Structure 1
Amino acid sequence: MQRNCWLRLTMLEDQSGANQGHLVNIAGRQRMLSQRLGNLYMLLSWGFDNPELRADYNKAKREFDEALLELISAQENTPQISSELKKVSQNWDMFKLSDRMGDNEYVPGLVARMLDKILIQMNDIIGYYAALP
């Protein structure tokens, strides 16, 4: 399912020939990364911690951070998109509080709520980017 969605977003980016398609693609990837982070975090909180899982989790966080900065700095952003990205950034900062927990201490409820909000917000942002002239 995720692969099909990713392929469609990539095709949209290729066909658009504009930065708009690229922004839709990045926003779609952010949506996927929020789900991936949630899944990885839950596995870690349940004790399935190993170096490969931890590396995947850290890579996904880094990719989300980098892409969020790219979206925030996009010249195509309307005031509405900028406002929504600010909300995503605030929820992302709340999510990152989970990293401040001690070893083997997790807050799955907080993480699930923040990442669910980010998923919904990124879905809206995809629509806003797709509607750009």
Structure 2
Amino acid sequence: MTFSSLLLIDISGRQRMLTQRMSKESCMIESGNETAELREDLQGTMQIFENSLNALRDGMEDVGIQPPPNDQIASGLVQVAADWESVKPHLAEILAGGVLDDEADVSKFQGLNATMANMNTVVGMYAEAAQRLVPLL
């Protein structure tokens, strides 16, 4: 595997964890355990997720991140981006001090889980693509 391949697998794998961190942080805020630090944490987690997703989709060659190596991964990342765009407004509402109704809260939770699952599929595709570059002996 190349360094670039390992970097893509690492970043895409981290994306899965970030969805769960956003879920936890937003639930803590909504449950009344809100602190300024927790709001900053959620904002930071959202920013890392979005920046990483953009780097995976478009590449960021100055730090060694290549664009998707094939159309299947590119399509998977398009789905993850669509998932993210559907859940991001719910998180923004929480950051703005709003309270989600039950339906929106369920949508947020399910959306983050769908994002994680679709990102998991992409991680598998990255791993498979990397193995094709350097077959195991």
Normalization by structure 1: what TM-score?
A: 0.82
Cα gap change, 1:18 to 1:92, in 2 (>3 Å): same
Aligned equivalent of 1:9: none
Aligned equivalent of 1:91: 83
Asked which structure has the greater CA Rg, the reply is: 2
Q: Matched residue pairs, number?
A: 118
Aligned equivalent of 2:121: 124
Query: Does 2:78 correspond to 1:81?
Result: no
CA-atom RMSD in angstroms: 1.5
1:33-112 correspondence runs (5 A): 33-74=18-59, 75-98=67-90, 99-100=92-93, 103-106=97-100, 107-112=104-109
- Structure 1 residue 105: Cα displacement: 1.2
Aligned equivalent of 1:10: none
Normalization by structure 2: what TM-score?
A: 0.80
CA contact (8 A) 1:95 1:111 kept: yes
Once the two structures are superposed, what CA deviation does each residue of 1:88-127 show, in whole Å capped at 9, x if it has no partner? 1011011111114663312321111111001111111111
CA distance in 1, matches of 2:40, 2:15: 18
CA distance in 2, matches of 1:115, 1:121: 10
For residue 59 of structure 1, what is the amino acid of its counterpart?
G
Once the two structures are superposed, what CA deviation does each residue of 1:56-83 show, in whole Å capped at 9, x if it has no partner? 1011000001000011013343111111
CA distance in 2, matches of 1:96, 1:76: 23
- Superposed structure 1 runs of 4+ greater than 2 Å apart: 74-77, 100-104
Aligned equivalent of 1:19: 4
CA contact (8 A) 1:38 1:112 kept: yes
Once the two structures are superposed, what CA deviation does each residue of 1:30-80 show, in whole Å capped at 9, x if it has no partner? 000001001111111111111111111011000001000011013343111
Cα gap change, 1:21 to 1:47, in 2 (>3 Å): same
3-state SS of paired residue (2:5): helix
